[in-house]
Structure 1
Amino acid sequence: MKQVVQSVSGGEVRIVEVPQPEPTATEVLVAVRRSLLSAGTERAVRELASASLLSKARARPDLVRQVVHKARTDGVRTTLAAVRGRLDEDMPLGYSATGVVVAAGAATDGLRPGMRVATASAGHAEYQTVPGLLAVPVPDGVSDQAAAFGAVAAIAMQGLRQAEVGVGGTVAVVGLGLVGQLTVRLALASGLRVIGVDLREWTAELATSGGATGLVEAGAATTEQIMELTRGRGVDAVLITAATRSSGPVTRSAEIARDRARLVVVGDVGLELDRRAFYERELDLRFARSYGPGRYDRAYEEWGVDYPAGHVRWTARGNIETYLDLVDSGRVAVDDLVTHVFEVAQATAAYEALAADPRSLAVQLSYAAPTEPRADAVLLQPRRASSRSRAGLIGAGLYAKATFLPALKAAGWADDLAAVTSAKGLSARHLAERNDIPLVVGTAADLIGRDDIDVVFVLSRHDSHAGLVRQALDAGKHVFVEKPLALTQDELDEVVAAYRRNSGHLFVGFNRRYAPMVGHAKKILAAGGGPVTVAYRINAGRLPDSHWYHDRRQGGRIRGEVCHFIDLASWLVGTAPSVVHAYGGGRGEPGLEEDVSILLGYPDGSTATITYCTGGNRSTPKERVEILGRGHTVLIDDFRRLEVDGREVRRVAAGKGHQQLLALVRQTIVGHRSEGREIEASFVTTRTALAAVAALTGLAEQPSIPPTRAGDDVSVSVPLGS
């Protein structure tokens, strides 16, 4: 399918072919008919992307601070690679469209194939996967052209709701671009008197033709006109829909507002304000967040959990519905706002018109994609003939691009990468283009089912790991899966059963076992006897609330990250733990806590303490491992510094073992190395992590680690030699 994207680094717009996406249970797949270019938002995005690196830094000082911190903790080379990876991306454009439902997820309510819907938060593409609560049925009386305004109109509607002005009140709309014009028309349909203010005469005239009083901004003269229109009181509310770095629109709004009026910021404007004007009139400054309640809420958008109408009457979906109803009743008209229509194949011309024509207001793209579901793949280059094992990647996120692919190539896999797939397709295409991977496949099932794929690398979200591993093993593939292997005991049991009944190799991404410094430490410890004590401290750092790790479907940080440290501790000791204690910080949902201490007891008397903390200073290195016993003290500091018995060892390479693990995977698959007990240790690690979660949730006080296979002793041996 065709999708419109923009280079993050240079701002170039292009049309690319990507596989048709597959909806989740809470999404619908939509064949798009019209999509709307938001003049203000998309101009701003393009301008930022086209700007120099210095200009980007000035526009986003928060990101500059993150880069500086990463350079201090991870080193300049790693940071530069991450920055280049971020800049060398294509981003989808667009967020307001309409089309026909092709397929509906099982958890979408009231949506079915063949239904016309207005969509939000999905880009300019022939097919979109849209959250069910952001796909709103379109009445028969509303054209595709009008329905495509749905998401942008909801932004205007949310600003109007924040103003809280009753029938008969007067509002001023400052900034008469597309969102401003929609705000004017929605306010008029709500029974309000509307004054539109802009620097351009033609937009003021357009507002007047719609029934408002359009004024060209002229400072004191405009203020005087507004006072005359409001009997000397000023307006009841001002909706600021301008887009400028200047704080002028907000300052001017304070001058035309009545005492205790509301000022609602809808557009992206400067906010360097003089307190006195707001204090003297006790003005209420508010902000409207996108389409309305539910926007940026993971439960609403991703999980499909709607708010009860008795508590939240007007959600993002409700605002789109209201706009469509107003158009259907004839109280709001928008067709005259459309200045240009282009076919999607001419999308670059549409953006050129948006940039070159100062009177371009609502520019739309049209589509004619079939409404029947289809599975497809995109061949980027001729397939390479090879007698060796061919590999396919499931997942194309930042970790895959910045860390995994470089390590995979360094481990000798460069010529064996045959296909890649991702949830949305665009990231897979970008990764394929940059890494000479010939084929982009539509779904994980399609990739696993291909006869020309022998090895499957699973790098997708955590909740998909166990199912994909099981499917790939049953399809006769060798499988590498990033941690975690499974999120529940049932998932783990199913994976183990699939491994036992098939002949394919299975590897888990517990790469720290294979770090050069860990290998050196194990050789030293192997020379002595007796128990060891491992103290492992992790300065993990806090994650924003929007991070996907906070999605309970993904298992949280203990299952998803702490398993790494459990694995390394047991690998260093050399046996599986027999007892697990876990203590949480008491913040957050049980089992998803972020601050946790785990104590592992081993049959030989060894112990390991894992302290995972999110509240440390950002300048503190992330990982510190100290091993005492067998006559030695070994310190590994963030896998960049190794100290043995108080002396720094400089001849051992730094790194966390990604390349070494992937080289081992390759050697095993091609037959140059026999399969060891690594996978058995990975099963034990996963059971241990699940036992730690059980201890935190109160399901077990001292969970024991069950045998890996029937008849095995609980202390499955982990080889000390690599």
Structure 2
Amino acid sequence: MKQIIQSFKTGETILEEIPAPVSSRGNLLIRTTHSLVSLGTERMLVEFGKANLIQKARQQPDKVKMVLDKIKAEGLIPTLETVFSKLEQPLPLGYCNVGVVEEVGEGVSGFQIGDRVVSNGPHAEYVSVPKNLVAKIPAEVSNEEAVFTVIGSIGLQGIRLCNPSFGETIVVTGLGLIGLLTAQMLIANGCQVIGIDVDESKCQLAASFGIIAINPKDSGDPVQTVMLHTDGIGADGVIITASTKSNEVISQAAKMSRKRGRIILVGVIGLDISRADFYEKELTFQVSCSYGPGRYDEDYEQKGMDYPLPFVRWTEKRNFESILFSLKTGKLKVKELITEQIPLENFLEIYGQIGSSKSIASILLYPEKAGEKQLKSQRTLAVNTPKFPISKGVMGIIGAGNFTKMTLLPAIKNLEVRTKYIASSGGLSGTQLAKKHAIENSTTDYNAILQDKEVDTLVITTRHNSHAQFVSEGIKSGKHVFVEKPLALTLKELDQIEKEFSEQSQSSLMVGFNRRFSPHTMAMKKALGNAGTPIQLIATMNAGFIPPNVWVHDMKVGGGRIIGEACHYLDLAVFLTGSKIKAVCMNAMGLNPEENTDNATLLVKHENGSNSVINYFSNGSKAYSKERLEVYWNEQTMIMDNYRETSGFGVKGFKNLKTKLDKGHKNQFETYFKFIQQGGQPPIPSDELFNVSKASLAALRSLKTGQWEQVSE
């Protein structure tokens, strides 16, 4: 299928061929018939993509500070690699989609195949959208009208925040598409509406809807004009739908408002606010968030958990339905706003001149023939031909996120490994990586990998809650399975995998505990040798803060950072002590720790009498080293600082080691694929993999019980 994307690296707007998405739980698969180009939002994205690096940096000063902190902690080269990799990531354009339901995902009710629907899906022939971002189109509303639903909801949410009453005067600053829709809805609400814009054609169109249109070029000072229309009182509310870097808009909004007036920002403007303007009139100012309540809430959007109507009357989906009702009843008129309707393949007629376009509303039309093809055949896209034939080490990757992009694919770049597939849920990220790294096929159907007998190695890099399922299916398919940690999120999942693994002999199992493959930890292991006595290990991970709403903290999705990342040091403890974990006890910061934490100390008992202390902290400075490891034994000490420097004290024959940052990823994959191709012992014994995974889960149990937890065998 085809999809419009924006490259932040080259600035190009591209019609890309990618695999069609699959319907997943909680989602609807929709075949697109029409989509609306949001000229304001998409113009900003296109222009940002075309800007050079310095211009991009000036537009995002907060990101510049993050880059500088990363340079201090990890060095210049790794940081630059991260920055350039981010710029290579394409952005799907569009969020106003109309189409026909092709598949209904598990757990979705109220929709049937063949329903006409609106959604916030991008400009693509097929889109997969969560049910709370989809609404049915009434029979009386045409597709050309319905395509205005999502962008109309942006204006409607601004109105709801303004809370106008019948007879009030509301100013709408900026008479672009959102401004014109907002003004019409305000008129339907019984308000006197004054619109402001410097484009005379937009002012004339606004006047045709009954809006008092002001063009500052002709009418002079818009503040004085508003005062004339309100008998010197001022506007009850101002809704700003303009897009400009100027601070003049917010200043004018304050000056034209009455005392205790309301100002709502829907657009993007300069926000250098004069305290005096707001103080004297006791003005209120609020920024509107997109389509309404539920926006950017993962529980609502991705998990389908609705807000109860008696307490949250208007969610983003209910706002969609309100716009559709207004279209059905004729209260909202949109046909007059349509400037052009362009076939999808001619998209550059819109995007080629988007910076100077005077269009109000541009609609993309999708070919009818798109629905005639079999969806299954469109879910795997051939991207490259094989570079070399090999019989072992033919890989399929499930997951095209940051780990695959930043770590896995660069690490295997020079290995004799044939990557036959990369699977991603949307198809876009996988296709981009396939093009860059000579991967043969991009797919949205991971079953294509499992069913291909030529593929002997399955690599899993998806979100943590899917690991156990993919590992289990990979084992049942008789493939070697590599899973980026963790192996599982629950003891039940872990027991099931262990049982399935023990019942077959074809598959091998590997978890991405890369740190034991770092030259620094390998040097430590060599120096330890057969110590003959227990050792004491202290590991500290200065992990850094991650906001609580990020998926890694969700115990059902990410499992928390102890299972998701601190497990690396449980594995290192097993590796360096040469002994599995017998019991763990975890203490978390705070008076009332819950089942999850990212500020904790783990005490670890090993079967051979060694002790490990693992500190996992998220509240430290980013300027300090991220990881530190200390080992004490037989009047000898070794200290490793952030995989860049290892020092020995009293260790005979050991020379201090200095390298660039090396956490062992490259050596891990080189060792792993050598095992796949040549046989021998697996890089990490399976009993250690299961022991470490059980120890991670036992640590979380300890947090609840406040006691030492035994790690079952």
Report the TM range for the smaller structure's normalisation.
over 0.9
Q: In structure 2, what is the equivalent of residue 472 of structure 1?
A: 474
Please show how residues 321-336 of structure 1 align to structure 2 within 5 Å: 321-336=321-336
**SS of the residue aligned with 1:409?**
coil
Name 1:704's counterpart in structure 2: 710
Between the aligned partners of 2:683 and 2:159, the Cα distance in structure 1 is 65
Counting matched residue pairs gives 702
- Equivalent position amino acid for 1:51 in 2: A
Residues 160, 239 of structure 1: 8 Å contact kept: yes
Equivalent residues of 2:264, 2:288 under 8 A apart: yes
Structure 1 match to 2:364: 365
Shift of 1:192: 1.3
1:505-553 alpha-carbon deviations (Å, 9 max, x no partner): 1111001111111111112212422111111111111112442213332
The 10-residue stretch of structure 1 (663-672 or 507-516) with the greater mean CA deviation from structure 2: 663-672
Which piece of structure 1 moves more, 107-116 or 449-458? 107-116
Q: Residue in 2 aligned with 1:152?
A: 151
- Conservation of the 8 A alpha-carbon contact between 1:102 and 1:373: no
Q: Which amino acid aligns with 1:430?
A: Q
* Structure 2 counterpart of 1:613: 617
Identical positions, percent: 34
Q: Which moved more, 1:523-532 or 1:308-317?
A: 523-532
2: distance between equivalents of 1:516 and 1:676? 15
The residue that corresponds to 2:420 in the other structure is: 418
Q: Which structure 2 residues correspond to residues 590-629 of structure 1 after superposition, within 5 A?
A: 590-629=594-633
Alignment deviations for residues 383-420 of structure 1 (CA, whole Å, 9 cap, x no partner): 3451332111111112211111111224x14x511111
After superposition, where does 1:113-128 map in structure 2 within 5 Å? 113-120=113-120, 122-128=121-127
Matches within 5 A, 1:34-183: 34-120=34-120, 122-183=121-182
Distance 1:461 1:320 in 2: 30
Matched, 1:561 2:560: no
Aligned residue for 1:564, secondary structure, equals helix
Root mean square deviation of aligned Cα: 1.8
CA distance in 1, matches of 2:612, 2:478: 38
Deviations 1:545-569 (A, max 9, x none): 4422133322111111111111111
Kindly indicate whether the alpha-carbon contact (under 8 Å) linking 1:508 and 1:679 is maintained by their aligned counterparts in 2.
Answer: no
Counterpart-to-counterpart distance in 2, 1:6 and 1:624: 40
Does the CA contact (< 8 Å) of 1:36 and 1:362 recur in 2?
A: yes
The 8 Å contact of residues 434 and 442 in structure 2, kept in 1 or not, is answered as yes
Structure 1 letter corresponding to 2:129: V
Contact 2:23–2:105, Cα closer than 8 Å, also in 1: yes
Which residue matches 1:462?
A: 464
2:503 equivalent to 1:504: no
Question: 1:615 Cα deviation (Å)?
Answer: 0.7
Gapped regions of structure 1 (runs ≥ 5): 708-722
SS at match of 1:470: helix
Instruction: Report the alpha carbon displacement of residue 220 of structure 1 after superposing the two structures with TM.
Output: 5.5
Q: Which residue of 2 aligns with 1:23?
A: 23
With structure 2 as the length reference, what TM-score do the two structures score? 0.95
For 2:553 and 2:190, how far apart are their aligned partners in 1?
43
| Aligned mate of 2:546, from 521, 543, 547 | 543
Q: Does 1:572 align with 2:576?
A: yes
Read off the aligned partner of 1:370 and give its amino acid letter.
Answer: G
Q: Does 1:581 align with 2:582?
A: no
Deviations 1:586-633 (A, max 9, x none): 489833211111111123221111111111111111111111113321
Counterpart in the other structure of 1:692: 699
1-structure distance, mates of 2:57, 2:712: 53
Structure 1 residue 650: Cα displacement: 3.9
After superposition, the Cα gap between the structure-2 partners of 1:173 and 1:652, relative to the gap in structure 1 and judged at 3 Å, is closer
Deviation at 1:110, TM superposition (A): 1.6
8 A Cα contact 2:632 2:638, kept in partner? yes
**Rounded Cα–Cα distance in structure 2 between residues aligned with 1:194 and 1:542:** 46
CA distance 1:311–1:449, change in 2 (3 Å): same
Q: What TM-score, normalized to structure 1?
A: 0.94
Contact (CA 8 Å) 2:70, 2:622: kept in 1 or not? Answer: no
* Residues 556, 591 of structure 1: 8 Å contact kept: no
Partner of 2:395: 391
**CA distance change for structure 1 residues 185 and 402 in 2, over 3 Å: closer, same or farther?**
same
C-alpha separation between the residues in 2 aligned to 1:314 and 1:589? Answer: 35
For 1:474 and 1:11, the matched residues in 2 are separated by: 45
Per-residue CA deviation, residues 152-178 of structure 1 (Å, 9 max, x unaligned), is: 111100101111111111100001111
Native 8 Å contact 1:10 1:51 kept in 2: no
Structure 2 CA distance for aligned equivalents of residues 327 and 265 of structure 1 = 24
- Residue in 2 that maps onto 1:213: 212
Decide whether the 8 Å contact of 1:535 with 1:608 is kept in 2. yes
Q: Distance in 2 between matches of 1:307 and 1:460?
A: 29
Structure 2 residue 520 is the aligned partner of structure 1 residue 514: no
- Partner of 1:492, secondary structure, is helix
Contact kept? 1:241, 1:267, Cα under 8 Å: yes
**Residue type of the alignment partner of 2:495:** D
Counterpart of 1:564 in structure 2: which amino acid?
Answer: H
Look up the equivalent residue of 1:54 and give its one-letter code. I
Give distance in 2, aligned partners of 1:668 and 1:694.
35
